[in-house]
Amino acid sequence: MFGLYIHFPFCVKKCNYCDFLSGPITSEDTVEEYLLALEEELTIYHNLLEDKGNLELRTIYLGGGTPTTLEAHQLVRVLEKCRDLFAWAPQLEATIEANPGTVDLNKLVQLKKAGINRISFGVQSFDQYLLKSMGRIHSPQEARESIAMAKTAGFENISIDLMYGLPDQTLSQWDNTLREALELGVQHISVYGLQVEKGTVWGNLQAEGKLSLPEEELTLAMRKLCNELLSQAGFKRYEISNYALPGYESRHNTGYWLGKPYLGLGLGASSDFWHRRFVNTFDLKHYIALLKRGQLPIVEEELLTYRQRMGEMIFLGLRLMDGVDLELFGERFGVRAEVIYSKEIEKLRKMGLIRVTQKHLQLTPKALPIANYVFTFFV
Amino acid sequence: MTQGWQNRIRNFCIIAHIDHGKSTLADRLLEYTGAVSDREMEEQLLDKMDLERERGITIKLKAVRLSYKAKDGQTYELNLIDTPGHVDFTYEVSRSLAACEGALLVVDAAQGIEAQTLANVYLALEHDLEIIPVINKIDLPSADPERVKQEIEEVIGLDASQAILASAKTGQGTEEILEAIVQRIPAPNGEVDKPLRALIFDSYFDAYKGAIPNIRIVEGKVTKGMKIRMMSTGKTFEVTDVGIYTPDIKPVESLSAGEVGFIAASIKNVKDTRVGDTITQEDRPAAEPLPGYKKATPMVYCGLYPIETNQYDDLRDALEKLQLNDASLLFEPETSSALGFGFRCGFLGLLHMEIIKERLEREYNLQLITTAPSVNYRVVKTDGEVVMVDNPTNLPEANYLERVEEPYVSASIIVPSDFVGTVMELCQEKRGQFDNMEYVTQNRVVLTYTLPLSEIIFDFFDQLKSRTRGYASLDYEFKGYYEADLVKLDIMINGEVVDALSSIVHRDQAYYRGRALVQKLRKLIPRQLFEIPIQAAIGNKIISRETVKAMRKDVLEKCYGGDVSRKRKLLEKQKEGKKRMKQIGTVEIPQEAFMAVLSIDE
């Protein structure tokens, strides 16, 4: 059993903060070649796994970019290939990322029919001005309409992304966005503080000193407000940036935080499989060319040390509010985390940044905004 | 009187500014005389230590005997004595010069004479050396040998009409240089029958043979088995080996007046082979030692502390090993309440300090914190007691101070005339006293100032270089101790005085320095879980304050399958950064902070 991630490096227009591997579609031929390559990649993995009898998928995640930039039949084609080649676990979670303005009812219905049962919309904000300054292509109204359509199409597990800490954003704008978001009737909300990355439009502006980001105090207040409003609405924060109604936690993403194996297909996708971490090429032409020759497009492979694996299990696990499963840690590594990290845990416990429950190692609420500081003790 | 066999010996050295091509020229001479074959030829053979090669500076000197068949048909024994080219090592240079009868003055054909060269030429003239000007790098497009000749004549007063035009890079002029050495440099004299007097101009430590002095026999003769005495210490040893460098070690029966070579005598410590000392024969001692012996005195002091306290013993061992080869390095244990156990070390100058620090880190794998360098202050207390203070922390409280004196140097700066104003301004800012200004050529000027040494080690050289776009060169020598209105500037971090950050400054500059220093520290100290006040104080008076705000937010917002490795590496890097910091109380302070006092923005 494993998770399957498929990357679609296409979008309508690059956003000002985006450093993901994506860009506008240059030609329909490219899309066709890309889909053929994806099918080939799926086939290769199928052949590799067939002998071992390891063909059951736990989760599927179509991410990007904006996968819904593609036509419904193109996405359905990929999903059907997945169904042909792999076994879908009962209760399989299949998510697609979408952006308001790239979906219509027909597309949504077809996706639903092809097996997608969870959809995640990049809503980001309900402030017209902020959306524009982020370089988003949609309006608040389009976001509301897209989500309504998804419901009509039969989706019962809908997630949205929101962003805070945006240039010139005020607390009252944020308050409004949160309230609007809660009006939508979605089951899952991811809330990300802006991180300005180099090479993005905003990164360049920042380098020139032309980006006016909110003060740290304000961004902390924004996170706090978000925690309060979402919790009042029945959402539980289950990960540093993720909130869900009970039972609607993202199973695919939770797999990453628990260190479960996953295969990543498509341009630049990463996998953690066969106890190795490997990454596909970031060059679209190269990706297509390699798969045309029937070769996996892997360009980087990393064999993690035991110690690195342990560190990862801790810092990924601590992202979850449940924390690191100490039993599981012991089983996986043959040594208890409390033993191998005894000094670190003791120090952090005294500082009030970490607590050890019967079964788990957890961050305290105080530690959440400075989680990296805690993580550095374990890497 | 020169005796017959001495006629075929020439002892010489090379005087040059850094980068003017001394080492390359030495290589050419070695190559030409067949001392090393092309195949063996490793670039710049004389500079042995890696560090020297990297910095292009010769630190330890060495002597090489070349065998040269001259045009007159005779074969000559040419002893090339290498000299260091930096102001920190002036005394060592003077001893090397004293071992020679002549010197090649190598000047870059494009750049002309620099202050350090000039200082060394004057030293050479004091020793009555025959000077052969060599204008090097004439292959460069920017070469202007005529201008350089004019400079040599006007600045030094040497006849430059016979200057040799050379390119150590292409080999041009090599033979002319060798001929000039034979023809123009006098043969050594000194009677072989007199009691032994040998000048130690360098020494180094050999793991098997102990401290090895490199010597010039001035009078008499040294042979294997001879009992010798060091005239400064009176210690005696028995000579086990006599030899020369060709450049490989070659044993010989004896060395006689006029010759250059080395002896080994089971000497355990280089402290017993002090540069400038005279070796004589125990049974038949000379009446007087050779003139000019001086014990090397450190000019600059700093604290060296291991970041990891368990490296203290390793640090001591490493310092002891370095001292075996470097008698001018001093160290003694010291304790800092901020940094724990370490050593206060004395150096000839800033370069010497940096070299030692780098060698400790590189060759001995130590992670060190260096405190800002300090000079040695002379403090007269109210009860009349005089104490020397080489660590600002130890300056007695103000009410016990009668007066504080600090070392001053006489500095000469050679600079294109366009920059005279800006250099004078700099010297003024640095509490300098104008002594003299002299035009050496139409557009080059020598400025002489009396400056506090503490100001020289505080960012002077960098300022000089940047304000003159690299055209100025500097040389200085110790002048004396003079009283100054000095105060101790303390730095408090999180309410506690960090002794390692204290400095002694002039009262007029105290406020400004204090403010600049806390501002700098605020930038250097990373945010931590709590707010950290940084204050500068004189006595009990706070003169400046800054705050490092508490770290409130440090979290990776997004972390999914695609970036686990990248995020892990980020965290690992963050952790590495933390490791290099020193924990003082509850505050983590990066290494650079302890040097911050040196480079606060003017």
| pLDDT tens digits for range B419-448 | 999 999 999 999 999 999 988 777 788 899
Strand partners for A250: none
Q: Which residue has the tokens 């033979």?
A: B175
ipTM: 0.92
Greater model confidence, B371 or A74:
A74
Segment among A150-154, A206-210, B91-95, B241-245 with least mean pLDDT = B91-95
pLDDT at B57: 41
Q: Determine the residue type at B260.
A: V
| A·B CB contacts under 8 A | 90
CB B306 within 8 A of CB B315: yes
- Using pLDDT thresholds of 50, 70 and 90, give the confidence band for residue B16: confident
Q: Determine the residue type at B78.
A: L
Name the residue of chain A whose CA is nearest to B565's CA. A277
CB contact under 8 A, A277 and B565: yes
Q: Chain B residues with CB inside 8 Å of A193's CB?
A: 553, 555, 557
Measured CB to CB, residues of chain A less than 8 Å from chain B are 3, 5, 192-195, 216-217, 219-220, 240-241, 253, 255-257, 262, 264, 268-272, 277, 302, 308, 311-312, 315-316, 319, 351, 368-373, 375-377, 379
Q: Which two tokens stand for residue B167?
A: 């390119």
Sequence-distant (≥ 6) Cβ neighbours of residue B201 within 8 angstroms: B61, B63, B81, B92, B95, B96, B98, B99, B214, B215, B216, B275, B276
Q: For residue B86, is pLDDT > 70? A: no
Q: How far A106 CA lies from chain B's nearest CA (Å)?
A: 30
Name the residue of chain B whose CA is nearest to A220's CA. B553
Q: How far apart are CA B221 and CA B259, in angstroms?
A: 9
Greater model confidence, A80 or B248:
A80
Q: How far B304 CA lies from chain A's nearest CA (Å)?
A: 28
Per-range mean pLDDT, top range of A232-246, B72-86, B360-374? A232-246
Q: For residue B508, is pLDDT > 80? A: yes
Greater model confidence, B62 or B378:
B378
Mean pLDDT value across residues B464-492: 89
Q: How far apart are CA A125 and CA A170, in angstroms?
A: 12
pLDDT at B601: 55
Q: Chain B residues with CB inside 8 Å of A308's CB?
A: 568
Q: How does strand B473-484 pair with strand B444-452? A: unpaired
Considering only the beta carbons, identify the residue of B551, B555, B565 that sits closest to A240.
B555
Q: For residue B53, is pLDDT > 60? A: no
pLDDT at A373: 94
Q: Determine the residue type at B135.
A: I
pLDDT at B60: 46
CB B401 within 8 A of CB B373: no
Q: For residue B174, is pLDDT > 50? A: yes
* 3-state secondary structure at position A351: coil
CB contact under 8 A, A372 and B574: yes
Q: Could you tell me the pTM of the whole model?
A: 0.68
State whether residue B541 sits within 8 Å of chain A by CB. no
Strand partners for B134: B106, B164
3-class SS shares of chain A: helix, strand, coil, % to 5: 45, 25, 35
Considering only the beta carbons, identify the residue of A3, A192, A219 that sits closest to B553.
A219
Greater model confidence, A54 or B571:
B571
Mean pLDDT value across residues A89-105: 95
Report how far Cα B320 is from the mean position of its chain's Cα atoms.
Answer: 19
Q: How far apart are CA B331 and CA B324, in angstroms?
A: 12
Q: How far apart are CA A11 and CA A7, in angstroms?
A: 12
CB contact under 8 A, A379 and B575: yes
3-class SS shares of chain B: helix, strand, coil, % to 5: 30, 35, 35
Considering only the beta carbons, identify the residue of B551, B558, B578 that sits closest to A376.
B578
pLDDT at B40: 52
CB contact under 8 A, B559 and A316: yes
CB contact under 8 A, B568 and A308: yes
* CB neighbours of residue B595 within 10 Å: 15
Considering only the beta carbons, identify the residue of A241, A269, A311 that sits closest to B558.
A241
Q: Chain A residues with CB inside 8 Å of B558's CB?
A: 192, 195, 241
Strand order, beta sheet including A262-265: A236-239, A242-244, A188-193, A158-164, A118-124, A87-98, A56-64, A2-8, A262-265, A270-273, A276-280, A298-302
pLDDT at A269: 96
- Alpha carbon distance, N-terminus to C-terminus of chain B: 59
- Using pLDDT thresholds of 50, 70 and 90, give the confidence band for residue B457: confident
CB A125 within 8 A of CB A162: yes
Mean pLDDT value across residues B556-582: 88
Q: Which residue has the tokens 């100490």?
A: A326
pLDDT digits (tens, 9 = 90+) for A294-353: 999 999 999 999 999 999 999 999 999 999 999 999 999 999 999 999 999 999 999 999
Q: How far apart are CA A237 and CA A243, in angstroms?
A: 4
Q: Chain B residues with CB inside 8 Å of A195's CB?
A: 557-558
Segment among B101-115, B216-230, B416-430 with least mean pLDDT = B101-115
pLDDT at B36: 63
Q: Which two tokens stand for residue A197?
A: 């990355």
DSSP code, position A256: H
φ/ψ (deg, to 5) at B120: -70, -35
Proportion of chain A above pLDDT 70, given as a percent? 100
Q: Chain A residues with CB inside 8 Å of B557's CB?
A: 192-195, 240-241
- Using pLDDT thresholds of 50, 70 and 90, give the confidence band for residue B599: low
Q: For residue B244, is pLDDT > 70? A: yes
pLDDT at B44: 47
Q: For residue B205, is pLDDT > 80? A: yes
Mean of per-residue pLDDT scores for chain B: 87
Using DSSP, how many helices (H) and how many strands (E) does chain A show? 15, 17
* Alpha helix (H) residue ranges in chain A: 28-50, 72-85, 105-113, 128-134, 140-152, 171-183, 201-207, 216-232, 251-257, 284-292, 306-319, 326-333, 337-340, 342-350, 371-375
